[in-house]
Amino acid sequence: MILVIGAGAVGSFLGATLARAGEEVELLGRDRPPDSVAGTPRLILIAVKMPDLAGAITTAQAWPEAPVLAVENGIGADEALLAGRPRGGLIAGSLTTSIERTEDGSIERLSPGGIVLAPVRGDVGGLLRQERDAFIAGGLRARATADPAAMRWSKLLINLMGNASGAIVDLDPVAVYRDRGLFQLERRQMAEALRAMRGLGLRPIKLFAADTRLLPIAARLPDPLVQPILVRVVAAGRGGKRPSLHLHLAAGSARRTEVDWLNGAVARAAAGLGQAAPVNARLAELVEECNQDPGRWAWFRGRPDRLFEAIPVA
């Protein structure tokens, strides 16, 4: 049995995909305690937002030997699981398919893409191949890669695009990339992330529907040439869905956002390398300011000029 911790859109989608392949799947949401699960899972799939990961790790401790497949965005999930679960195999997963829960509760797939899996700890090669094949049988493209850090950072590059800046000014990613000033801000953000990756000895890899190996090339091209290309890339990749930070602010929840594991992770990595990442650091601060203070968000909404004033280096 595969136990999915996190019954949101992503967890439900991945669980349904594995079920279509013939796997026995149970979803464990916030309304179900671990003791309601019958038997011991042969795999725990954790699909929660990063602020909820600590709670998911605590839940997974009911089965300390069970291997985990962690499908989280941002940087830090693997490190948290290694520290919080001293035993059990660990596989990292990056999903590039845009998923949305509709008003009637069903799950809608908005874009193509797929899932990439990478071994992190333990003898998980056989399990990884088995789940890769199950995802494929369930209708989702899947493959394996050997470098989980490069995979996580490559997915981070995608998650950064139009996310924090769009959330702050209340614009969708396509509108962000069409705006000349916001596009330049996005380029500064991406340049900082790519520089941090180089400092860590990592190179972008190809993910399904997103070949991040092309981003360093795009970073060297002039705005008039690369801007229309990236507008189309962003439009195709999102499938019309707003990114996570924008959805969080729009929901009006004061719960912590994922920005600390996105832009904040870039800023921390850069600082550890003796680099500077002022755009990412400031975007992380501003997203949380808008999250905690609706008046602060109202100040920025629809006003990119105010965002530029708040990030002078841009």
- Predicted confidence (pLDDT) per residue in 181-202, tens digit: 999 999 999 999 999 999 999 9
Residue 249 has pLDDT above 90, yes or no: yes
Mean pLDDT of all residues in the chain? Answer: 93
Q: How far apart are CA 173 and CA 74, in angstroms?
A: 18
Q: How far apart are CA 280 and CA 74, in angstroms?
A: 13
Q: What's the pLDDT score for residue 262?
A: 98
Q: What's the pLDDT score for residue 240?
A: 67
3-state DSSP call for residue 219? helix
Q: What's the pLDDT score for residue 39?
A: 85
Torsion angle of C-alpha atoms 113, 119, 123, 124, degrees rounded to 10? -10
Q: Output DSSP code: residue 34.
A: G
Q: How far apart are CA 258 and CA 17, in angstroms?
A: 25
Residue intervals in the chain for CATH 1.10.1040.10: 154-310
Q: How far apart are CA 71 and CA 8, in angstroms?
A: 12
Share of the chain above pLDDT 90, in %: 78
Of 44-58, 128-142, 232-246, 287-301, the one with minimum mean pLDDT is 232-246
Decide: residue 14, CB within 10 A, 0-12 exposed, 13-18 middle, 19+ buried.
Answer: buried
Residue 314 has pLDDT above 60, yes or no: no
How much is the average pLDDT of 142-147?
97
Q: What's the pLDDT score for residue 30?
A: 75
Residue intervals in the chain for CATH 3.40.50.720: 2-146
Domain 154-310 has CATH 1.10.1040.10: yes
Instruction: Note the CATH number of domain 2-146.
Output: 3.40.50.720
3-state DSSP call for residue 51? helix
Residue 12 has pLDDT above 90, yes or no: yes
Q: What is the pLDDT of residues 202-245, one digit of tens each?
A: 999 999 988 899 899 888 889 899 999 888 888 776 666 788 89
Q: What is the pLDDT of residues 106-120, one digit of tens each?
A: 888 877 899 999 999
How much is the average pLDDT of 130-147?
97
Q: Is the dihedral of CA 229, 10, 61, 256 positive or negative?
A: positive
Q: Which residue's entry shows tokens 């602010």?
A: 249
Q: What is the pLDDT of residues 14-58, one digit of tens each?
A: 999 999 999 999 999 876 788 888 889 999 999 999 999 999 999
- Whole-prediction pTM value? 0.94
How much is the average pLDDT of 94-108?
84
Contact in structure between 145 and 205 (CB atoms under 8 Å): yes
